[in-house]
């Protein structure tokens, strides 16, 4: 009886703690849920030693390699709504970018250099020498384009979702809200206006994370970011196909940003997703999956049927 009472007490305390987390740390709880979803989908968590420090990635599936790169402030779990479907036809590498999730550095400023170098090391370790298709959202798209420019021999295609490596507007005022009202306005820029409003307690957690989370740590290195943007000349040097997928409702990084890139890149296309904002993997996964299958599968079909590829095999 005493043991049962003690157990019930522990369960009650656990319930109180979980309720507190859901109310005051909803973004943390959401992160737990999304990472669990990746594991349930059959993906395994692996660690990779890199010059930046230990990095974490989720790996699973079979076929040509897709590397999924999340946006600033996110983590690998943001792909939980599309990864299970993609893993049916591809081998996935889904890292926590440097300074995000469980990847080093755990504290202090995060430089774009660190994010690029860590992603390159993860790909070099886990891709087994295969050329990869990079799929990045927001910051992840920036990193994908930089790697495609730096290492075309390792990249079959770069798919950039609502992001890229050219200079854009200063987003710090939108990404680092100081109060609930600013957070509400910032979130509105990233989502289709027909979506349900984000609850106030979630907005409060966005403000909390804006003070000390990965976004703030990235913003602390803003003066060094210019060196990691690509000029028009450098865009023209990208030797791999680039496919741009854009949420038509994205007002944080509007469609004009994508149009600037597609006019300069030597091999680029642009697809828009209606009623979708800045984060299609979370907001409109079905539309994103359809677009990804169209661009990635068509590319793979071309490669598989090319005489040069068959000759090498």
Q: So what's the pLDDT on residue 170?
A: 74
pLDDT of residue 71: 97
Q: Residue 195: how many CB atoms within 10 A of its CB? A: 16
Q: State pLDDT tens for residues 187-216.
A: 999 999 999 999 999 999 999 999 999 999
Q: What number of other Cβ atoms are within 10 A of residue 306's Cβ?
A: 11
Cα three-residue angle 233-221-206, rounded to 5 degrees: 110
**Residue 307: pLDDT band with limits 50, 70, 90:** very low
Quick check: 34 pLDDT over 50? yes
Tens digits of residue pLDDT in 68-124:
999 999 999 999 999 999 999 999 999 999 999 999 999 999 999 999 999 999 999
Delineate the domains of the chain, giving CATH numbers in brackets: 28-300 (3.40.50.1820)
CA-closest candidate to residue 70, choices 44, 107, 46, 102:
102
pLDDT tens-place string over residues 48-61: 999 999 999 999 99
pLDDT in tens, 211-264: 999 999 999 999 999 999 999 999 999 999 999 999 999 999 999 999 999 999
Phi then psi for residue 256, to 5 deg, are -60, -30
Question: What region, left, alpha or beta, does residue 61 occupy, with left being phi > 0 and alpha being psi -120 to 50 degrees?
Answer: left
Q: How confident is the model at residue 310 (pLDDT cuts 50, 70, 90)?
A: very low
Confidence of residue 313 (pLDDT cuts 50, 70, 90): very low
> pLDDT value at position 309?
31
* pLDDT at 169 > cutoff 60: yes
What is the predicted pLDDT for the residue at 19?
A: 82
pLDDT of residue 24: 86
Residue 237 is predicted with a pLDDT of: 96
Q: Give the sheet arrangement for strand 132-137, strand by strand.
A: 44-48, 55-61, 91-95, 65-69, 132-137, 155-161, 242-247, 268-273
């Amino acid at each position: 009886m005493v043991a049962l009472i003690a157990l019930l007490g522990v369960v009650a305390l656990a319930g109180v703690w979980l309720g507190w987390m859901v109310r005051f740390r909803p973004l943390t709880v959401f992160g737990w849920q999304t990472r669990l979803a990746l594991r349930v989908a059959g993906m395994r968590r692996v660690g990779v030693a890199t010059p930046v420090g230990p990095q974490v990635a989720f790996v699973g599936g079979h076929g040509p390699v897709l590397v999924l790169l999340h946006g600033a402030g996110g983590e690998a779990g943001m792909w939980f709504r599309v990864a299970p479907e993609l893993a049916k036809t591809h081998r996935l590498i889904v890292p926590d970018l440097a300074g995000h999730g469980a990847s080093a550095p755990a504290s202090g400023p995060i430089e774009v250099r660190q994010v690029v170098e860590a992603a390159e090391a993860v790909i070099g370790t886990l891709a087994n020498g295969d050329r990869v298709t990079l799929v990045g959202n927001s910051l992840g798209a920036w990193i994908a384009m930089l790697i495609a420019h730096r290492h075309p021999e390792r990249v079959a295609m770069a798919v950039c979702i609502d992001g890229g490596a050219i200079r854009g507007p200063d987003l710090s005022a939108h990404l680092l809200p100081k109060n609930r009202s600013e957070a509400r306005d910032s979130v509105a820029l990233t989502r289709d206006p027909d979506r349900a409003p984000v609850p106030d307690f979630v907005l409060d957690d966005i403000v909390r994370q804006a003070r000390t989370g990965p976004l703030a740590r990235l913003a602390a290195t803003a003066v060094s970011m210019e060196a990691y943007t690509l000029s028009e000349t450098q865009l023209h040097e990208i030797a791999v196909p680039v496919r741009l997928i854009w949420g038509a409702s994205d007002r944080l990084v509007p469609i004009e940003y994508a149009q600037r890139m597609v006019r300069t890149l030597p091999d680029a296309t642009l697809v828009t997703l209606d009623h979708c904002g800045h984060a299609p993997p979370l907001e409109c996964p079905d539309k994103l999956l359809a677009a990804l299958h169209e661009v990635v599968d068509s590319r793979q079909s071309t490669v598989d049927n090319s005489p040069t590829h068959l000759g090498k095999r």
